A and B are shown apart, each in its own frame.
Chain A
């Protein structure tokens, strides 16, 4: 007999519940509940931090002033703006049912989502960075995690995307970085305004087929309902919101750097080093737009900005070497902002 794929549509949920409901499923599946595909739509906008995000990545003053709760999820990824124009979905399986290699598990659990997009005439593809895209535009955010003995991958159907607000909720170093981040968001993050009911139906079919399970409408177990209450409490505690402790670099040590990832290979940076300031956007390893400030450039900043546009990151120092000591300071700021793990 075919094992069940429990399907739960939570409908509209308050921001907190739009997270805690599916986290509770993680605990349920870990304890023996069947594999589950769930859906919910935030009843109100909010900001959600990935498990390892720093709280300083979000502009809390703006969020407070605009009534946007800030929550932290147990799965990975960056800070995201979520609202009622996004249908959130989650697929949750026992950890033993997915490959141990994370990229294989992600591919296995994201491919049915790609199939679903294609079913509703969105020519989506899973790219080499395991992002769901149409062309070079990301159309679905995702995160994944293991909750006890269950693996969950979550994502969203973005029916409309408020690029301005998604940028505004981020704590950015300066207006130049804000402008560049917004420009990249508009260029590389796209909505797919399809009928959500059709998408949902396509997802149920695609996940059931891919996992060899029989889709059955279901609801939370008693254990899961109890877990929701516990999670509501945990997710609203200051300790949880603060996130896992990260060592704090000593004050005043080294350059000040802020990096924001828009999608894989697409990010902005702002760095200040010895009085030299850089704000740049980077696309696939090359400088896209750049704003430079450094004493001693003597009016050649625009020339240097033009010279850097399109230059691969590894050649930036070479180009800036033409600008003497200020160029070296700018190169140091760039080097400090290397993407590292972005």
Chain B
């Protein structure tokens, strides 16, 4: 990622070279025709608490938008990692499965979660794609989470 595509919004890094699913805080980065890399943005991670474990369905598993592709455990709370796209899992990040903290330290880089092929490219337009729109959404989320005490001021 080019440095110019990473900005800081109210203290949180935001990569502008990818798309975002507004509800789940998952990012989707195009890695080739019909292929994407998926990860979680720092706000999604922050609201989860200190990550203890991440686990994924095996490579080859079908992905359905809105359905889990793995589980995240933080504070003894296990919850789904929800896929923002449909397709199939091509690979999972073994490093982040061994060291969940990698997703906290490098949310846009080494802390990626899965690589996937897309079955319905039509779903991508449902994601936030315009940098100005992404920045506004991210800033509004931070303000809302701070207002509700979800994250620290």
Contact = CB atoms under 8 A, between A and B. Distances in A.
B partners with A: yes
Interface of A: 50-52, 74-77, 99-106, 130, 142-146, 244-247, 249, 340-341
A50 B75 CA distance: 12
Interface string B79-94: 1100000000000001
B74 A102 contact: yes
B152 to A, nearest CB: 11
B15 interface: no
Interface of B: 47-53, 55-56, 58, 70-71, 73-80, 94, 97-101, 145, 148-151
Given A76-B76, A144-B78, A341 B150 contact: no
Given A52-B52, A76-B52, A245 B77 contact: no
A105 B74 CA distance: 12
Contact of B150 (A52, A100, A143): A100
11 contacts: A75-B78, A76-B73, A130-B75, A144-B75, A144-B76, A146-B77, A245-B58, A247-B94, A341-B51, A341-B52, A341-B100
B98 A246 contact: yes
Contacts, number: 87
A21 B25 CA distance: 33
Contact of A146 (B58, B76, B80, B99): B80
A59 to B, nearest CB: 22
Contacts of B75: 76, 102-103, 106, 130, 144
Majority-rule SS of B interface residues: mixed
B150 A146 contact: no
Given A103-B49, A340-B101, A341-B100, A50 B55 contact: no
A145 B98 contact: no
B78 A145 contact: yes
A103 to B, nearest CB: 5
Contacts of B101: 340-341
A291 B117 CA distance: 51
A247 B98 contact: yes
B77 A52 contact: no
9 closest cross-chain pairs (CB), A and B: A244-B55, A76-B76, A52-B53, A247-B94, A144-B77, A145-B78, A101-B150, A146-B79, A77-B76
B52 A102 contact: no
Contact of B78 (A74, A104, A249): A74
A104 B150 contact: yes
Given A244-B71, A341-B100, A145 B55 contact: no
Nearest to B52: A341
B56 to A, nearest CB: 8
Contacts of A104: 149-150
Contacts of A144: 75-78
A245 B150 contact: no
Contacts of A52: 52-53, 55, 71, 73, 78
